[in-house]
């Protein structure tokens, strides 16, 4: 579901095509978030059935974690999560993650 003001934020407007798809959000914080993109507004993204994963030193790398989610599915730990658009560093559909 899109907010009528998304045209004011080019990033938000470009994400509308991915509503309903599983996405990977790279954030400025040491977190990676995976989930189904439910809603896009000028201020943020709402994800359903999401996995908010903290990237800890010495733990699994972000790349390996996302690859495992692509192979085996998202390990949901939140029914819904709201992410502010200012926190985004990168966004991609989960099914665009290249398996190797």
- Name the more confident of 9 and 42: 42
pTM for the whole structure:
0.84
- Determine the 3-state secondary structure of 22 from DSSP: strand
Whether domain 4-92 has CATH 1.10.1130.10: the reply is no
Over the stretch 35-79, which tens digit does the pLDDT of each residue have? 999 999 888 999 999 999 998 877 778 888 999 999 999 999 999
Over the stretch 79-99, which tens digit does the pLDDT of each residue have? 999 999 899 999 999 999 988
Across 23-32, average pLDDT: 93
pLDDT value, residue 38: 97
Report whether pLDDT(7) > 70.
Answer: no
Give the max Cα distance, the chain.
43
Contacts of 8 (CB under 8 A, 6+ apart): 42
How much is the mean pLDDT over the chain? 88
Q: What is the rounded distance in angstroms from the CA atom of residue 10 to the CA atom of residue 39?
A: 15
Report whether pLDDT(100) > 90.
Answer: no
Domain boundaries, the chain: 4-92
Q: What is the rounded distance in angstroms from the CA atom of residue 80 to the CA atom of residue 36?
A: 9
């Amino acid at each position: 579901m899109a907010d009528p003001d998304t045209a004011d934020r080019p990033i938000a407007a470009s994400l509308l095509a991915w509503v309903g798809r599983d996405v990977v959000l790279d954030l400025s914080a040491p977190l990676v978030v995976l989930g189904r993109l439910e809603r896009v507004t000028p201020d943020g993204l709402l994800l359903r059935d999401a996995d908010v994963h903290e990237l800890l030193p010495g733990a699994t790398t972000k790349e390996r974690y996302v690859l495992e989610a692509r192979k085996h599915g998202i390990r949901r730990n939140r029914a819904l999560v709201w992410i502010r658009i200012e926190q985004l560093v990168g966004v991609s559909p989960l099914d665009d993650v290249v398996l190797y």
